[in-house]
Amino acid sequence: MGLLRHVVCAMSGGVDSSVAALILKKRGYKVTGVYMKNWDSLDEIGVCTSEKDCEDAYRVCRILDIPFHQVSFVKEYWHHVFSYLLKEYEEGRTANPDVLCNKHIKFDHFYTHAFNTLGADAVATGHYARTSQEDEEVFQQSYSPPSTSLNGDRFEIRNPVKLYRAADLVKSQTLFLSQIHQNALRKTLFPLAGLTKDFVKKMAAEAGFHHVLMKKESMGICFIGLRKFESFILEYLEPKPGKFISIEDGRVMGSHKGWFTYTLGQRARIQGQKDTWFVVDKDIATGDVLVGPTTKHPALFCDTARTDRFHWISEDPPPELVRTQKMDCLFHFLHNMPLIPCSVTLNADGSVWITLSRTVRALTPGQFAVLYKGDECLGSGKILELGPSEFALQRSRERSAASGGQKAQPAPEPAS
């Protein structure tokens, strides 16, 4: 009789993590379910959804006859995710809390808790993703805390574990996992790697998980709940009134309560305006939010972006990129967004410039630019800077033509 492997599975109270635990139990592992409480408040109608989710996760563990634990990471979430989110908004950027939650909470604090407190041999989540390891290889890896150094563990990265998109490409969640550490990835199982969402629902029904099947798919930022984003964010940030400015002609279109209540590409609800306008840029120096009259305004489209220091899943940049400083690969920055061919240039500080094969709508500073080679997720970097928009290039060409072909400076744009 072989050693019984102990897998600690993150349980959210949803169908995916419930079926992940079911699969692990069917494979013969000793499974422990853990629900993470990351936010501590009621929504606007007085319902604490985390308590309901915790109860749903507990019911699944009762059905599976496996131990259940609840652990609070409220303080850690506030420090590593929510405070960071507020700072990004104040800087004019739009952060992705799901990426940050995976990096700092699930694959750092939960990961460490599973091994140091619960005696795990591996951890598991209900993410739709897969790695280059078979289950037994995961158990053969030694536990190491997530690396905090920029260079990682030089011994470990000789044979890095790779992260791949799942079989269900529509549900694949590698974007949300693109910032996790190599050490955590080595000790993680993704039981849903080869399954489709429809098959997962079928398994849940057959297992009697009807209470989680009836739940709606979680969408949006979890801690906002049913509240409007503007109302929510103004609970934490002081209003900073400014103007809506037409990028077409500089007209003042109206006023707003703070640039941080808007993100690029969203509809700008301007009082007194019958026509629909969309946010195309923000200038935090003046407090102005620039708007355009259509959802596909050329000011919303560009094809270049620079990131901060890029996080490579393998810890090191691909050899091809190190050797030539350039590499062709694939890009997206939104879940379910098709992968777009791109060219990447590596900078001396570890950041990258990304040039896309076509312009993309609403590339947004603060979001994560995720790179792929085929189905392999290479990692991600936070978008800090955008290249000129189609609108800026058009204006530059118009001025150049008006000046008789003399070289003209590009149209000035607010720094996003």
Cα separation, 9 vs 374, whole angstroms:
29
CB 177 within 8 A of CB 102: yes
Q: Is 257 exposed, middle or buried (0-12, 13-18, 19+ CB in 10 A)?
A: middle
CB 126 within 8 A of CB 18: yes
User: Quick one: which of 293, 298, 360, 349 has its CA closest to 325?
Assistant: 349
Helix, strand, coil proportions of the chain in percent (round to 5)?
Answer: 30, 25, 45
DSSP secondary structure of 68-136: EEEEE-HHHHIIIIIHHHHHHHHTT----HHHHHIIIIIIIIIHHHHHHTT--SEEE---SEEES--HH
Neighbours of 152 (CB within 10 A): 19
54 tagged catalytic: no
Catalytic residue among 54, 61, 101, 329: 101
Burial 91-122, CB ≥16 within 10 A → b, else e: ebbbbbbbbbbbbbbbbbbbbebbbeeeebbb
222 tagged catalytic: yes
Cα separation, 14 vs 203, whole angstroms:
13
CB 90 within 8 A of CB 260: yes
* Residues taking part in catalysis: 101, 222
